[in-house]
């Protein structure tokens, strides 16, 4: 996705959804474009749909957490970051230190 083509990406992914209703990647990519346009509520909904289609989609859980942080829902974001880390241990919460990241994961 080119840096300034998020509007075009949103339009494209919205057109693809009816053609690929069971594709979690289309929902994930739509969420990413929406997030980059600061449309966090819509991004969160798109990531949730990607997770519904593929519950073990670690990056969708992570990005949902990022959207929720922007929406000031840190409690639910923490849960999503923990799930992302459980599914893919390389994904840690976006915070200042490894010690803090471990605390968030180990203390849901």
Domains in the chain, ordered, with CATH? 6-106 (1.25.40.10)
CA geometry: angle 14, 1, 56, nearest 5 deg: 70
The distance between the two most distant Cα atoms of the chain, rounded to a whole number of Å, is: 44
For the entire predicted model, the pTM comes to: 0.84
Residue in this structure with the two tokens 């990519």, named with its chain if needed: 29
CA dist., res. 41 & res. 58, Å (int): 19
Angle 98-106/74-87 helices, nearest 10 degrees? 100
Check: CB of residue 84 under 8 Å from CB of residue 54. no
Give tens-digit pLDDT for 21-76: 999 999 999 999 999 999 999 999 999 999 999 999 999 999 999 999 899 898 89
């Amino acid at each position: 996705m080119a840096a300034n083509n998020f509007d075009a990406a949103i339009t494209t992914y919205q057109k693809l959804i009816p053609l690929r209703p069971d594709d979690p990647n289309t929902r994930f990519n739509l969420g990413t474009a929406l997030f980059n346009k600061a449309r966090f509520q819509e991004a969160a909904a798109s990531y949730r749909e990607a997770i519904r289609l593929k519950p073990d989609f670690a990056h969708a859980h992570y990005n949902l957490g990022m959207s929720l942080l922007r929406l000031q829902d840190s409690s639910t974001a923490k849960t999503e970051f923990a799930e992302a880390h459980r599914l893919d241990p390389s994904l840690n919460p976006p915070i200042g230190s490894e010690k803090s990241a471990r605390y968030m994961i180990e203390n849901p």
